[in-house]
Amino acid sequence: MFISKSVEDTIAAGRTYGQNAAKGDVFALAGDLGAGKTQFVKGFVAGLGSNAEVTSPTFVLVHEYGDGRLPVYHFDFYRLEQSDAVLRLGFDEYVFGDGVSLIEWADRYPDLIPQGAKWLSFALEGESGRVIREGTPS
């Protein structure tokens, strides 16, 4: 469990995960709106050495960041109405490909998440705190 007291803490946590990421890693992110998932991804991408400007792919389903040590595929299932939409994008080719996949709102379609994915749950705590826990959300 990691307790973040600021946006900067959440970004720093993501940076640490990114520095330690390996080809083929999949990170399934779960948590309420504003709980820090996208901030974590910003740090993660930076931790891989990318200078990309990270934004939530809510309306496009996936952003690709390729200028770091490994390519990053950043998915957002928040507005996804049916899992078929992401499958038509070639989801399996991304998550079983040559990079790292981060999936926001992964708990909306847990059946799409590959076995062995690293689940991270984000929760609000107080005014500006966040709790990041490893493990499948309950």
- State the CATH class of domain 2-134: alpha beta
10 Å CB burial of residue 76 (0-12, 13-18, 19+) is: buried
Domain ranges of the chain: 2-134
Task: Please give the C-alpha separations between residue 47 and each of 1, 27, 77, 100, in angstroms, as whole numbers.
Answer: 20, 14, 23, 12
What does the pLDDT read at residue 40? 96
What does the pLDDT read at residue 138? 64
Single-letter residue type at 137: P
What does the pLDDT read at residue 80? 85
Can you give the pLDDT of all 138 residues of the chain as single tens digits? 889 999 999 999 999 999 999 999 999 999 988 899 999 999 999 999 999 999 887 778 899 999 999 999 999 999 888 888 888 889 999 999 999 999 999 999 999 999 999 999 999 988 778 999 998 876
What is the tens place of the pLDDT at every residue in 91-115? 999 999 999 999 999 999 999 999 9
Distance CA 17, CA 110 (A): 21
What does the pLDDT read at residue 137? 76
